Amino acid sequence: MPTAARGTGEDTDKALQLLKARDREFAASPFLKLEVLPKALFNRRNLEVAFYEAYFDAVTHWATNIEQLLAAGYQEAAEFGLGAMDALHIAAAVVIGANEFITSEKPSKSIYRTQSIPVIPLFDAN
């Protein structure tokens, strides 16, 4: 999401096209909101804030059972060696029954080790 909110050029266009796709539904958790929105608010990046708020308004599936997400995230981190926040994001996607997890993380990152859900890179590796 930060790429679509802050970027310019081809990467931003690709991210925005994905977000505009009519055949997609989007999921989120309070952890995603906590990760991206407060820093944009603090730094008064108003366009970025507006983008995030529009995204969160469009989310149709919210993973909100914090205890369930923490337990599932812990399992992800322990089993696949994911960082804490990535494990929580994967857990949220799995808990709500998402078909895939799209990320702007580079393919070398640990999030791709999960076997709980297909992790799809938003951008081609350079």
pTM of the model: 0.84
98 part of a folded domain: yes
Number of domains in the chain: 1
- What CATH number does residue 28 fall under? 3.40.50.1010
The two tokens of residue 91 are 């857990």
3-state secondary structure of 27: strand
Residue in 107, 117, 121 with CA at minimum distance from that of residue 73: 117
Residue 126 forms part of a structural domain: no
> What is the Cα–Cα distance from 105 to 112, expressed in whole angstroms?
9
Q: Of 99, 106, 114, 103, give the one whose Cα is nearest residue 61.
A: 99
> For 63-116, what is each residue's pLDDT tens digit?
999 999 999 999 999 999 999 999 999 999 999 999 999 888 899 999 999 999
- Mind listing the pLDDT tens digit for each residue in 31-70? 999 999 999 999 999 988 988 898 898 899 999 999 999 9
User: Is 100 in contact with 27 (CB distance < 8 Å)?
Assistant: no
Distance from the Cα of residue 9 to its chain's centroid: 20
b/e 85-94 (16+ beta carbons within 10 angstroms → b): ebbbbbbbbb
Q: Does residue 76 sit within a domain?
A: yes
Q: The domain containing residue 8 runs over which residues?
A: 2-121
**What number of residues does the chain have?**
126
CB-CB contact of 120 with 103 (8 Å): yes
